[in-house]
Amino acid sequence: MTHQPAIPTLTAADPQIAELIEAEATRQHDKVRLIASENYVSQAVLEATGSVLTNKYSEGYSGKRYYEGQQLVDPIEDLAVERAKSVFGVEHANVQPYSGSPANLAAYLAFAEPGDTVLGMALPAGGHLTHGWSVSATGKWFNAVRYGVRKEDGRLDLDEVRDLARQHRPKLIFAGGTAIPRTIDFAAFAEIAREVDAVLVADIAHIAGLVAGGAHPSPVGHAQVITTTTHKTLRGPRGAMIMSDADHAKAVDKAVFPGLQGGPHNHTTAAIAVALGEASKPDFREYAHGIVANAKALAEALLERGFDLVSGGTDNHLLLVDLTSKHIGGKPAAKALDAAGIELNYNTVPFDPRKPFDPSGIRIGTAAVTTRGLKPQHQPKIAEWIDRAISAAATDDAKALHTIAGEVKELLAAYPVPGYRD
């Protein structure tokens, strides 16, 4: 049992860290990983991420650097940019943002001033911290107005979005979030943004792989600016991109550098290029549609077992489960599931009466299990494990959780993962 690529030099130099990395590789192999923001990258992406490119500083952009020795870095960044433009069909791409939150901050810096009004989805409704939530810098530095979902069906209320936009005339409107199980109507958002002369920013961090694979409608042609992480459903390294139309490209680039950061992480840029190359292949389209098929199958199986799903189901990779009817909070449920070999996260649900650190729900995603090769026929078994584990949590039945973890490990043994070899 070993991490791949092998780490013999690290093992000799720092056995404590090496041992933890080896143990993490085993953990990732042995558990059903259902965290919606996680995935397994390919070994090619792992190798690029761990390459000598981490040694090089490259402040600036290709052809316009502030350090010498960029003869090989520039072509790598150029490849990443061109592949992003091709995969997503955009006019401009910036692959330098360090992660999703800085990518969103760049949109604010590019198109708004401190104190300006911005409109985004409320965090408890499924939005992201950087869409103007109060504890984020975006909620402190801007006049943040928030939209939500309908209480009766848990779906986005576009009438509310339109009314709030007309009333507050925001400079920016964010479409997207972290716990939205339904298709985002980018065309409707664009119509609202045009009416109030706002810049529409589509945050597709969670669904980028689905968009790239044709399993979710694209915001291209609707949103002037598109932000995304490069991991999650896109199956790349921990990084981010900002894409835009040509008219907004210059402002985006200036916001990223020198506005928010110095030199890009070249090893991440190379890994992004590798992941985008993988996303351009026909089998990635199969993969993206497989994610959705698995999510729908898991949703159906959970509904049959009496679970309450926010909005009643899913259109994408993500399920949001309200555990109120199961008489258990999301946090103790998530911890019990982890002990049972099922990794996910506790999560608020819309109109949640409980606190964010002890909410009513759990969030589930199917990108990682799809990468492993699990199919819709496996989802009823996963639903059964979830049901049994939550029942065991209610009675503190540690033995039952251990039994489930053994069953999980036994099934997954037939589905190897990149980064681990038996």
CA–CA separation, 39 and 36 (whole Å): 8
Collapsing DSSP to helix, strand or coil, 99 comes out as coil
| Closest by Cα among 106, 104, 85, 99 to 245 | 85
Instruction: List active site positions.
Output: 57, 59, 203, 229, 232, 238
| Closest by Cα among 360, 356, 265 to 57 | 265
Structure tokens at 273: 């290029």
User: 128: annotated binding-site residue?
Assistant: yes
CA–CA separation, 211 and 99 (whole Å): 19
Contact yes or no for 308/321 (Cβ under 8 A): yes
CA–CA separation, 147 and 8 (whole Å): 51
Query: What does R_g of the chain's alpha carbons equal in angstroms?
Result: 22
Structure tokens at 391: 């029942």
Collapsing DSSP to helix, strand or coil, 228 comes out as strand
Residue type at position 151: K
Contact yes or no for 104/201 (Cβ under 8 A): yes
Place of tokens 């009817």: 325
CA–CA separation, 84 and 101 (whole Å): 19
CA–CA separation, 397 and 402 (whole Å): 9
User: 129: annotated binding-site residue?
Assistant: yes
Contact yes or no for 388/404 (Cβ under 8 A): yes
What is the number of H-type helices and E-type strands within the chain?
16, 17
Residue type at position 362: I
- Cα separation values, 372 from 32, 367, 375, Å: 10, 9, 9
- Strands (DSSP E) contained in 107-265 are 117-121, 143-147, 172-175, 199-203, 225-229, 240-244
Collapsing DSSP to helix, strand or coil, 136 comes out as coil
Count CB neighbours of 259 within 10 A.
15
Structure tokens at 280: 């351009």
CA–CA separation, 83 and 79 (whole Å): 6
- Cα separation values, 32 from 177, 339, 387, Å: 24, 11, 14
- Binding site for (6S)-5,6,7,8-tetrahydrofolate, by residue number, is 123, 127-129
- Binding site, by residue number, is 123, 127-129
